[in-house]
Amino acid sequence: MKKTILFLIAVSFVFASTNAQLFKNKTKKTVAPVVVAPVNILTNDVDSMSYALGLNVGSDFAKNLKGIPGGKSNIDLLIKGFNTAMRGDSALMKSEVANEYFKNYITKAQAKDIVIKKASGEKFLNENKTKEGITTTASGLQYQVLVAKDGAKPNATDTVKVHYTGTLIDGTKFDSSIDRGEPISFPLNQVIPGWTEGVQLMSVGSKYKFFVPYTLGYGEKGAGNGAIPGFATLIFEVELLDIKPFKEPTPKVEIKTVEQHQAVKNIIKKSSKK
């Protein structure tokens, strides 16, 4: 709600500027050009703060506006609606109707977006699985061996060290340990299912390309503050650098009685004689 209010403040400046420009253009058609001195709106701290706020919030909201389901909006009408509400003028919709309409629109647009995203991922995977060198597992994970190596393979409980690059199916890169210049280590059973399954196919030194359906990736919600959208099919190039086998922790023996204490001393004594 705070961001929306702040954005609307920014929009008012845009609308005022637009009206001023339109008025100037109409004036030019009927009146001879005159030299107009520039207007300095930053005459005090409040004005400066207000303008800075407008720029910052407007820039931020312009980016967020692209995330509206369907990806479309009419900026002119958005500004007009805001200006109408701010001035208390007669509106095309009552506020209750506007709220209900907006909510229904978003719900329908989200449902439509989900269908489109699912269909896009399914189409990509269906076409990709027919390409040479692509293998599809029972879970739906697809992979391609880029560099093959022999050797031990990790178990799900092992910790692995890898270099990787992740992209969306349109080629957008969302993460890369290579770009950061530092590989990453993690327990293999604590990442997305596509990685847990896929990296177990690899030996140290090998490099695979994985095509991960959303059901084996980040699911319906996505991740990375929107960098990975919900229902996204993902592509990873992964190089396995090291495997650290899982070791069961040594259980601690609690010595509670004198007899237990003596028994431990006897074991140590016998071991030292050997």
Spatial separation of the C-alpha atoms in residues 235 and 25, rounded to whole Å: 51
Which residues does 57 contact at the CB level (< 8 Å), separation at least 6? 3, 6, 7, 9, 10
Spatial separation of the C-alpha atoms in residues 184 and 207, rounded to whole Å: 15
With beta carbons less than 8 A apart as the criterion, state whether 195 and 188 touch. Answer: yes
Q: What is the mean pLDDT of residues 71-90?
A: 80
Q: How far is the CA of 250 from the CAs of 189, 247, 253, 271, in angstroms?
A: 21, 9, 9, 19
pLDDT at 264: 56
For 213-249, the pLDDT digits (tens) are 999 999 999 998 889 999 999 999 999 999 999 876 6
Asked which of 25-39, 43-57, 212-226, 252-266 is least confident by mean pLDDT, the reply is: 25-39
Q: Tell me the CB-side half-sphere exposure of residue 34, using CA atoms within 13 A.
A: 7
> Within 10 A of 210 (CB to CB), how many other CB atoms are there?
24
CA dihedral 100, 104, 106, 110 (to 10 degrees): 160
Burial class (CB in 10 A: 0-12, 13-18, 19+), 136: middle
Spatial separation of the C-alpha atoms in residues 82 and 8, rounded to whole Å: 7
Please state, rounded to an integer, the average pLDDT across all residues of the chain: 81
Which residues does 196 contact at the CB level (< 8 Å), separation at least 6? 156, 188, 189
For 117-134, the pLDDT digits (tens) are 999 999 999 999 999 999
pLDDT for 51 beyond 90: no
Q: Which domains does the chain have, with CATH numbers?
A: 2-92 (no CATH), 128-244 (3.10.50.40)
Q: Which residue has the higher pLDDT, 123 or 82?
A: 123
Q: What is the mean pLDDT of residues 54-72?
A: 77
Spatial separation of the C-alpha atoms in residues 65 and 67, rounded to whole Å: 5
DSSP state of 93: S
Q: Which residue has the higher pLDDT, 206 or 7?
A: 206
Query: Which tokens go with 236?
Result: 């990873």
Which residues does 135 contact at the CB level (< 8 Å), separation at least 6? 142, 143, 144
* Position 271 confidence tier, pLDDT thresholds 50, 70, 90: low
Catalytic machinery residues: 164, 174-175, 192, 218, 236
Spatial separation of the C-alpha atoms in residues 209 and 128, rounded to whole Å: 12
DSSP state of 70: T
pLDDT at 262: 62
pLDDT for 29 beyond 70: no
Query: Which tokens go with 1?
Result: 């709600």
Q: What single letter denotes the amino acid at residue 161?
A: K
pLDDT at 263: 62
Q: What is the mean pLDDT of residues 255-263?
A: 61
